Structure 1
Amino acid sequence: MSSVTKKRPKPRVRNSTHPLQLLPREPSVALFPSKNELLKLFSVVVIAASVAGSCNYAVYFFNRQAKPFCESIDESYDPSADLCEPCPGNGWCSSGKLECFPGYKKHGRNCIEDGIINQTTRELSELLEQHVCDAYGQVLCNEPGRIWFQESDMMEIIEHHLPKNSINMNDDTSTFVKNKVMETVESILETKASYNRIKEFKCPDFLAELHKPLGCRVRQWIYKHLGIMAATLGLLVGLTKFILSIRHKSKLTTRAEQLYEQICEILQENAMRTRSGDNEGEPWVVASWLRDQLLLPRERKHTTLWKKVEELILEDSRIDQYPKLIKGESKVVLEWQVDGLLAEMLKKKFAMKAKAISNLGISSYASDGKKPQIAES
């Protein structure tokens, strides 16, 4: 019988892992919200708080009741009681209601100045000042006018120009405007009280000077500065005459020199022609003939020009001037006196000039296609 070998079971090996080790050592990231989720949550909370606050304020605003104004005549008002609102300046409070003084208008729960009334007051003040000063300015110019104006006269002017319909004034507002205008004018104009205690107004002298008529101011300025203007005018006239005389002398001298040069050329050519051997003409020229030949008709009326030319001729040693009997009448003649080398130079110059003129004539004939004709001897 075979022996059966029995195997002993192996002992179980115990797991030595601790139960706490089954948990993770670090918490998972999914357990906490991300940064974007936190921002969204914060935004939702802020919006909810804003909506709640706005609704609460709206309910308070629409459900509240305005406090009444404190009485203006009530001097026992206690600011700490907070039972009524103090009456603002420029206003009168009665039975909890506000009424603004004349010249002011209600703006919310305050009284502010009325711009239209202020503008009307300013325009009336300027108009009244202009009326009074214009009248005094006419008196200063010896014209019909007025110096002093009584208060009643001033009120009439204001009444005449007060635009009641344009700004819908009531009696209180009209009275306020009149008083305001009178206060403004009184600070500008001079005032005095007459024997019966009536106030009178007068424009200051320095303002009246500015309100004189324009023609009067011009006349007074001319009369005041007449001496200076006469001296200035005389100086200008004298200076103008002096400048014109210098200019006239300069033109006269220039013209005389031109005539003198022309006379010298004429005398030179005449002298060269008579000494060239042709024996044509006289070596002298009558001075009066030269004068009538060279001067323009309007220049012959002024003897100063020809006298200036005669002075230049007398100063020239090349020109000889002497009287000569011509046709039974004594006349002054001019003759060019040239000898020696200078005469030869002038003779050559005259010959060259004559040759140039001859060549010019031949060229002009050639350009026309014609031959010059020589006269038969």
Structure 2
Amino acid sequence: MAPPSSSLSTPKPKKRRIKNPSNIPILSSIEPPPTLLPSKADLLRAVAVLSVAISVAIGCNLVVKLFNRQPKPFCNSNHDDEFDYHLSDGCDPCPSHGICNEGKLECMSGYVRHGRSCLEDGDINEMAKNLAKMVESHACESYSQYLCKGVGKVWVQGDELWNNMDENNTTYLYAKEKAVEIVGNLLETRDTSVGIKKLKCPDLLVEHYKPLSCSIRLWLLEHAVFLVPVCALLIGCGLMLQKIRRRQYLSVRSEELYEQVCEMLEENALTSRSVDGEGEPWIVASWLRDHILTPKERRDPLLWKKVEDLVQEDSRLDRYPKILKGDPKVVWEWQVEGSLRSAGKKKKGEINKQKMRENPNLGFNQDHGRLKLGEPFKC
């Protein structure tokens, strides 16, 4: 079969071109204005404001729920059922020193409620301490008087102390109960056959209540066995040391006085020979003693006795009695011809000779019957 004729075929439509007039803009070249969309800074600011608003809303919601929430009731402190209220989420456990009933809390005597707990009452605690201190002072002072003066009691009846403090005050009674507990731990206690409790101050505590004089006296009595021999030993050592020092003093001082005696006798002997025989070469021992000794040394007879012993042992000195104005006297005289002393002593003797020449009244005066010494020998 021959193909159909071309005259019978439908003609194809022709494409129609749309002309773009110059006054109409092209769509692809159209851009939005810059103020149409927000900037990055505005976007961040909007996010921050939104976050703050959400936080405030959440916080207000929590606060409202917190204030509107009712606290849990307390679990009963006295329950006999097997259910453990302490593990229940419907109630809180009853705090220490508290009494819980029907969900309510009441604190025991001596405790005050603080929030959902019971704390110790400070006033009652202070009152209990004061009561315990009064009982302690009474018991310890009584025991102290017994130790120091022999009066008072060692064991004090507790009823006598507590009965004086009885008051019809619930707070005071609770403070008294606590004070009894404190005193029981502080003082020694014992029960009598009739069930009366007695109190005694411990030995270490009673030391703080003794007077100082009493403590010293008791300490001396307690250590007398040891102190007596020690004191005797110390006294003996002290006396021995004093005796040694006195012996040394007498030895040194007597030698000094002996040297002075020799110098005076020698000078007097040299001076008497230079005054045409009118002077006497001797000196009365008692007058010489009163001249060279101080008033305090004159009251010590042993010192001058030491000087006399040294003079007696010296062969250069002569001792003999002599009657002066009807009284027997002992005189001392230098027997060596010339001076055996040092050069300085010789010079001193020459000076004394010169004084004797200038004053012929020195030496022994026959008319007056007494010994006249120069100024160094005057009393």
TM tier relative to shorter chain: 0.5 to 0.7
Displacement of 1:109 in angstroms is: 1.2
Displacement of 1:99 in angstroms is: 0.6
Q: Which residue does 1:259 correspond to in 2?
A: 257
What aligned pairs does 1:1-20 form with structure 2 within 5 A after superposition?
Answer: none
Q: Which residue does 1:145 correspond to in 2?
A: 153
Displacement of 1:81 in angstroms is: 5.6
Paired with 1:46 and 1:250, the residues of 2 have a C-alpha distance of 109
Displacement of 1:306 in angstroms is: 1.7
> For residues 216-248 of structure 1, what are the alpha-carbon distances to aligned partners after superposition, in whole Å with 9 as ceiling and x for unaligned?
655544443444444444445444444444444
Q: 1:201 is aligned with what amino acid?
A: K
Displacement of 1:62 in angstroms is: 2.5
Q: Which has the higher helix share?
A: 1
Paired with 1:41 and 1:95, the residues of 2 have a C-alpha distance of 54
8 Å Cα contact 1:70-1:86 kept in structure 2: yes
Displacement of 1:105 in angstroms is: 0.7
Q: 1:203 is aligned with what amino acid?
A: K
Q: Which residue does 2:62 correspond to in 1?
A: 57
Paired with 1:254 and 1:288, the residues of 2 have a C-alpha distance of 21
Are the structure 2 counterparts of residues 356 and 62 from structure 1 closer, same or farther at C-alpha, using a change threshold of 3 Å? farther
Paired with 1:344 and 1:130, the residues of 2 have a C-alpha distance of 84
Paired with 2:134 and 2:304, the residues of 1 have a C-alpha distance of 74
Displacement of 1:108 in angstroms is: 0.7
8 Å Cα contact 1:272-1:347 kept in structure 2: no
Paired with 2:44 and 2:354, the residues of 1 have a C-alpha distance of 116
Paired with 1:180 and 1:274, the residues of 2 have a C-alpha distance of 106
Q: Which residue does 1:200 correspond to in 2?
A: 197
What aligned pairs does 1:29-40 form with structure 2 within 5 A after superposition?
Answer: none
Are the structure 2 counterparts of residues 56 and 338 from structure 1 closer, same or farther at C-alpha, using a change threshold of 3 Å? farther
Q: Which residue does 1:303 correspond to in 2?
A: 301
8 Å Cα contact 2:188-2:202 kept in structure 1: no
Using structure 2 for the length normalisation, give the TM-score. 0.64
Displacement of 1:100 in angstroms is: 0.5
Are the structure 2 counterparts of residues 208 and 202 from structure 1 closer, same or farther at C-alpha, using a change threshold of 3 Å? farther
Q: Report how many residues are paired.
A: 313
Q: Which residue does 2:133 correspond to in 1?
A: 126
Displacement of 1:308 in angstroms is: 1.3
Q: Which residue does 2:365 correspond to in 1?
A: none
Displacement of 1:107 in angstroms is: 0.3
Match of 2:269 among 251, 271, 279: 271
> For residues 191-234 of structure 1, what are the alpha-carbon distances to aligned partners after superposition, in whole Å with 9 as ceiling and x for unaligned?
32525xx3422326636854875466555444434444444444
8 Å Cα contact 1:147-1:202 kept in structure 2: yes
What aligned pairs does 1:153-302 form with structure 2 within 5 A after superposition?
Answer: 153-159=160-166, 171=170, 173-187=171-185, 188-192=187-191, 194-195=193-194, 198-203=195-200, 206=203, 210=207, 214=211, 219-274=217-272, 278-302=276-300
> For residues 74-115 of structure 1, what are the alpha-carbon distances to aligned partners after superposition, in whole Å with 9 as ceiling and x for unaligned?
443556763333322211122332111111110011111112
Are the structure 2 counterparts of residues 335 and 38 from structure 1 closer, same or farther at C-alpha, using a change threshold of 3 Å? farther
8 Å Cα contact 1:284-1:336 kept in structure 2: no
Q: Does 1:68 align with 2:73?
A: yes
Paired with 2:196 and 2:321, the residues of 1 have a C-alpha distance of 104
Structure 1 unaligned blocks of 5 or more: 1-21, 23-30, 359-377
Match of 2:104 among 97, 100, 107: 97
SS state at 1:88 partner: coil
Are the structure 2 counterparts of residues 283 and 128 from structure 1 closer, same or farther at C-alpha, using a change threshold of 3 Å? closer
Percent identity between the aligned chains?
Answer: 37
> For residues 145-173 of structure 1, what are the alpha-carbon distances to aligned partners after superposition, in whole Å with 9 as ceiling and x for unaligned?
363526x43540342xx6x8xxxx5x3x4
Of stretches 205-214 and 307-316 in structure 1, the one that deviates more from structure 2 is 205-214
Q: Which residue does 1:364 correspond to in 2?
A: none
SS state at 2:164 partner: helix
Alignment RMSD = 4.3
SS state at 1:290 partner: helix
Paired with 1:58 and 1:44, the residues of 2 have a C-alpha distance of 21
